[in-house]
Structure 1
Amino acid sequence: MKNFLILPVCILLYLQLPAQTNNPVLLNIKNGKIEGYHDAQKNLNVFLGIPFAKPPVGDLRWKAPQPLEAWNGIKSTKKFGPSPVQANVFSDMVFRRDGQSEDCLYLNVWAPAGKSKEKLPVLVYFYGGGFVAGDGSEPRYDGAAMAQKGIVTVTTNYRLNIFGFYAHPQLSKESEYGASGNYGLLDQLAALQWVRDNIAVFGGDPEKVTIAGESAGSISVSAQMASPLSKDLIAGAIGESGAAIKPTLAPVSLAEAEANGKRFAEKAGYSSLAEMRNTSTEELFEKYKASEGFRFSSVIDGYFLPKPLPEIFRSRKQAQVPLLVGWNSAEIPGTSFMQGQPYSEENYINKVKQAYPEDYKEVLKLYPHSSKEEIEQSATALASDRFIAYSTWKWFDLQRKNSEEPVYRYLFSKIRPPLKTAAARQTQPAGAAHASEIPYFLGNLELTDEYAWTAEDYKVSKLIQQYLANFIKTGNPNSEGLPEWPSAKAGDASPPVLIMATESKVKEAEDDARYLFLDKAYGND
């Protein structure tokens, strides 16, 4: 009986694996020869699990990624490498990888087959997962659909949680740059350096690299734009819900990060850095999971990030590149703000007073409450803004005011259809949920087939993909046959926003007063 229960899952995972042919594809990259395969159905060359740095294990645990040495012979790159070590914390994540390990620094490339007269634009996509989970092998991040539009597409792994963001005074002391933490972000930087050095072999243009990501991946994009180490490696940026700006996974000071790391070591019973490095992956990760209250953040380390992002952008020291950025209409349910209380006027007002005791009257005007339906909408909007929408708006606002490059803003409002399983059907959500846009953006609805997609969903996805492909190729999402998407100007009080929905259209921003209020509340103004 157990075998029959397992069989459908096995079939599902098999169907999500990239289709292969018997035709190998050999390439000679900087470190040696690799062998991928030709996907004849899609006319793509696919290379999975390419190492881009030395395995960060043993003495290299909690060190910046180190350059790979050359190898002899041919390295097979036909399956995804191991994912970073993580717990199963997000139910919507499905991996196609080969287990998990600290040895996780691998990337994947989908490239159009055949020779092009010109080098092709490149997309490098960073996965989300709150810097605690995620992997470049997820079906919703598959690069085939974008590659079929003439774009060399890359997904890359980076270290997570305690392995990717742990800081400690001893680690800072031994470092060449006098700081610690940010290893996951430095992994992303190493991947971008690998792209610069190798992507031409795959047909890509190292001078036309657009970076993109969702949630923690979007936060990563904002950080890579701000870093003096990576800003010159990119020609464009796409952010889907998230920026490394208070209150959303903003970097902390090195002193705070080191103190946090020191407290963890003491609580976990470690007396030295050497002891921590000699601890097995399993034991260290179990102690991390058991340690309540320890979350390791990105760091203002004076190396990768010299200052908070608002300061970097205001001084115009960020990457001066086109930016396409936005968020979803219902990033998080209003129940998270209500903390389980019913949507009544009394409950809502009380929650607003608790959150904003000095400014609750202003908040109630910005997020009104004239009916139960309006309360649900306002609670959802307030929860979403506090969670991730405001920080993304701030990134948008900083770039349009401190760059001559165009900035395009969207609001994704297409509500995802229900799951196919009848037991999972629920009431209509208030809007488009966090992360629901990913398969629409990357053209992977069919690879996330647990949802009851309709022709309408595929229509929306096709439109969005064309905007993104145009942007990656030219820095401008517009082309003939698409609704015109104007860029936002520095002085626009109500900047244009593309509403991505069943019928997409451009509107003037209606809710920026909310973000101006939160700007002051979070001290980012």
Structure 2
Amino acid sequence: MRFLPRLAACAAAAFLTGGALAAEAPTVQAPAGTLEGRAAGAVDVFMGIPYARPPVGLLRWKPPADLPAWAGVRSAVEPGAACMQPRPRQASIYANPPARMDEDCLFLNIWAPRGAKDAPVLVWVHGGSLTGGYGHEQAYDGARLAAEQGLIVVSVNYRLGVLGYLAHPALSAESPDKVSGNYGLLDQIAALRWVRRNIGAFGGDAGNVTLAGESAGALSVMYLMAAPDARGLFAKAIAQSAYMISTPELKDERFGTPSAEMIGTYVAGTLGAPTPAALRNMDAEKLVEGAAKAGYFPLGTVDGKVLPRQPVDSFDRGEQAPVPLLAGFNSGEIRSLRFLAPPVPASPAAYEAEIRNRYGDLAEAFLRLYPSGDLEESILAAPRDALYGWTAERLARAQTAQGQPAYLYYFDHGYPEADAKGLHAFHAAEIPYVFRTTDRTPPYWPRVPDTPAEQRLSAAMSGYWASFAATGRPAAAGEPAWAPFGAEGAYMAFRGTPQPGTDLMPGMFALHEETVCRRRLTGTMPWHWNTGVASPVLPAGGTGC
């Protein structure tokens, strides 16, 4: 903890021993209003803080609006409602339904070391496919990061699913900017603006904010890096298992995807509510469940305003936020996301024939990386790399090209219960290690053993992440130095211990970059998890992107 202020070390000791530096409820007078939270050892916790006017009922599909400062003292000891989302229908390892859901859900939570002054701030955007999740899930508890590392941790709710991302011609027509969709993204921007205005009252440095997220949260980080309205609201970015997939455009059908307005029109028709008025009169739960049953899959919308162009193009043009970046992915991403993997072919010969048919002159390179000798592993590895591995390295390359430090990681750590279930280093498995919440995972999550080795790895990852948030350079006491990606392609592998290396998965990035390049050039092919035997037939090589 050599980079930490003495205060953080004292706070960590008090937190970990169950001690307290003060028993009274903490009170903060912020520009937004006065808040009374609760003490957790040496950490002050403030839950359920509203950051924008709730866009409910007739205000559905409106941008978030500022809230006036409240009068009196607002209690902030309980989390606010989660945003509306479909209820899980099976015992997925990610199933963790919130106790309470409501359209009035634009809340954030803060964990701050008591007595903090100009502390670095980490703003966490939860994952969940932009469909589910909430900021106060137990694995995102920021108390240990605050106590041990001296960070102020902020977690955010934002509108999800059809309520957060629906685009529709009539909604665009009523907008002053003639756009629709991206409401959940606008919520995240509003939360960052609230942090900019208010975090100083909690002891945070508004100029040292790191935006972080995993999966759909990392997708959101990537969107916000490309969003002009978010510029200047964060100084660093962390993207864990991001995916730079093709994104619907507001009015144009491109890359084999209907326009966002066409998708919205279909969903509204399926729900029997073809107009905004009818949609706004629907019961929120019926609306959310009905859209999910109709197959609605929320994504950002390339609208020319919030998202000016395809994210891949924004990063190619160097238009993204010029900030230090930490990004990476997990070796077992698809082990817990089997729906993203195509069926295993009947035989190695059938697999090779499909790859040669679909990849043409790239087939040999594909088969070297994903050979027929172990079909099960190859079927899992190809979409992992096409979605998460390619994206992580592409982000690192883009920030490096901007002259910014970028740090790449590869999480390849397993433990007995996860490995026994075929879930070695599964999607999101790194989160409890970063937050130091290995004892606070969801109900069906493979249990992390409480051993010195697991705690050391967790302490190392937490230290690297917190150091990056504080200084822009990941470092952990007693652990290897983590070099920036740079010209050598440096990365840090997290297995049983942190292990630095260079040139992660030789040939992986080049293959998927060329594949995406060719799809982009056609203008008719999407790029996401349709890879390997699920890939469209690729055109032969041409001029390149």
1:422 equivalent in structure 2: none
Written as runs of structure 1 = structure 2, the 5 A alignment for 1:133-148 is 133-148=132-147
Change (3 A) 1:463 1:64: same
Given candidates 503, 509, 520, the residue that maps to 1:515 is 509
Distance 1:335 1:364 in 2: 21
How much does 1:47 deviate?
0.2
Gaps of 5+ in 1: 1-17, 420-424
2:479 equivalent in structure 1: 482
How much does 1:470 deviate?
1.0
How much does 1:96 deviate?
8.4
Asked whether 1:259 is paired with 2:262, we answer yes
Asked whether 1:444 is paired with 2:437, we answer yes
Written as runs of structure 1 = structure 2, the 5 A alignment for 1:415-434 is 415-418=414-417, 426=420, 428-429=422-423, 431-434=424-427
Counterpart contact for 2:79–2:109, Cα < 8 Å: yes
Distance 1:58 1:72 in 2: 25
Asked whether 1:299 is paired with 2:301, we answer yes
2:84 equivalent in structure 1: 85
TM-score with structure 1 setting the length: 0.87
Residue 71 of structure 1 aligns to a residue in which SS? Answer: coil
Given candidates 448, 458, 473, the residue that maps to 2:455 is 458
How much does 1:351 deviate?
5.0
1:366 equivalent in structure 2: 369
Distance 1:337 1:100 in 2: 28
How much does 1:226 deviate?
1.2
How much does 1:417 deviate?
3.4
1:157 equivalent in structure 2: 157
Written as runs of structure 1 = structure 2, the 5 A alignment for 1:198-347 is 198-243=198-243, 245-247=244-246, 250-255=247-252, 256-291=259-294, 293-333=295-335, 339-341=342-344, 344-347=347-350
1:104 equivalent in structure 2: 105
2:70 equivalent in structure 1: 71
Change (3 A) 1:213 1:258: same
Change (3 A) 1:282 1:478: closer
Letter in 2 for 1:461: S
Write out per-residue CA displacement over residues 240-287 of structure 1, whole angstroms, 9 at most, x where no aligned residue: 0114x225xx35344411111112222222242112112121232232
Distance 1:66 1:56 in 2: 8
Change (3 A) 1:442 1:26: same
Change (3 A) 1:355 1:196: same
1:39 equivalent in structure 2: 40
Written as runs of structure 1 = structure 2, the 5 A alignment for 1:325-404 is 325-333=327-335, 339-341=342-344, 344-353=347-356, 355-356=358-359, 359-369=362-372, 371-372=373-374, 375-401=375-401, 403-404=402-403
Write out per-residue CA displacement over residues 53-103 of structure 1, whole angstroms, 9 at most, x where no aligned residue: 011102221011111122222211111111111123472346585500111
Residue 229 of structure 1 aligns to a residue in which SS? Answer: helix
Write out per-residue CA displacement over residues 164-210 of structure 1, whole angstroms, 9 at most, x where no aligned residue: 00001111111122211001111110000000000000000000000
How much does 1:443 deviate?
1.1
Moved more, 53-62 or 19-28: 19-28
Residue 446 of structure 1 aligns to a residue in which SS? Answer: coil
TM-score with structure 2 setting the length: 0.84
Residue 153 of structure 2 aligns to a residue in which SS? Answer: strand
How much does 1:26 deviate?
1.6
Residue 522 of structure 1 aligns to a residue in which SS? Answer: helix
Distance 2:408 2:74 in 1: 42
Letter in 1 for 2:101: Q
Change (3 A) 1:338 1:53: closer
2:3 equivalent in structure 1: none
Counterpart contact for 2:322–2:404, Cα < 8 Å: yes
2:172 equivalent in structure 1: 172
Distance 2:231 2:53 in 1: 23
How much does 1:364 deviate?
0.9
Letter in 1 for 2:484: S
Distance 1:54 1:335 in 2: 38
Counterpart contact for 1:108–1:155, Cα < 8 Å: yes
Counterpart contact for 1:242–1:392, Cα < 8 Å: yes
Change (3 A) 1:183 1:362: same
Letter in 2 for 1:153: V
Distance 2:290 2:377 in 1: 40
How much does 1:358 deviate?
6.0
Counterpart contact for 1:343–1:376, Cα < 8 Å: no
Distance 1:337 1:271 in 2: 31
Given candidates 465, 481, 489, the residue that maps to 1:495 is 489
Distance 1:343 1:472 in 2: 48
Change (3 A) 1:376 1:104: same
Counterpart contact for 2:84–2:103, Cα < 8 Å: yes
Letter in 2 for 1:318: Q
Distance 1:426 1:241 in 2: 23
Write out per-residue CA displacement over residues 191-237 of structure 1, whole angstroms, 9 at most, x where no aligned residue: 00000000000000000000111000111111111111112111101
Moved more, 294-303 or 193-202: 294-303
Asked whether 1:58 is paired with 2:34, we answer no
How much does 1:343 deviate?
8.4
Q: CA RMSD in A?
A: 2.5
Counterpart contact for 2:460–2:476, Cα < 8 Å: no
Residue 177 of structure 2 aligns to a residue in which SS? Answer: coil
1:13 equivalent in structure 2: none
Letter in 1 for 2:388: I
Counterpart contact for 2:438–2:448, Cα < 8 Å: no
Residue 176 of structure 2 aligns to a residue in which SS? Answer: coil
Distance 1:178 1:501 in 2: 49
How much does 1:335 deviate?
6.6
Residue 187 of structure 2 aligns to a residue in which SS? Answer: helix
Change (3 A) 1:251 1:468: farther
How much does 1:361 deviate?
2.9
Counterpart contact for 2:37–2:75, Cα < 8 Å: yes
Distance 1:335 1:261 in 2: 27
Distance 1:32 1:133 in 2: 29
Counterpart contact for 1:94–1:138, Cα < 8 Å: no
How much does 1:391 deviate?
2.3
Change (3 A) 1:52 1:427: closer
Change (3 A) 1:91 1:22: farther
Letter in 1 for 2:58: D
Distance 1:337 1:218 in 2: 18
Number of aligned positions between the proteins: 487
How much does 1:520 deviate?
1.9
Counterpart contact for 2:248–2:260, Cα < 8 Å: no
Letter in 2 for 1:384: R
Counterpart contact for 1:80–1:96, Cα < 8 Å: no
2:196 equivalent in structure 1: 196
How much does 1:512 deviate?
4.3
1:409 equivalent in structure 2: 408
Change (3 A) 1:36 1:343: farther
Write out per-residue CA displacement over residues 313-360 of structure 1, whole angstroms, 9 at most, x where no aligned residue: 233322111101111112113976774437852354255346536643
2:532 equivalent in structure 1: none
How much does 1:109 deviate?
0.1
How much does 1:297 deviate?
2.1
Counterpart contact for 1:257–1:297, Cα < 8 Å: no
Residue 499 of structure 1 aligns to a residue in which SS? Answer: strand
Distance 2:437 2:19 in 1: 14
Distance 2:274 2:333 in 1: 42
Letter in 2 for 1:246: I
Letter in 2 for 1:440: Y
Letter in 1 for 2:447: Y
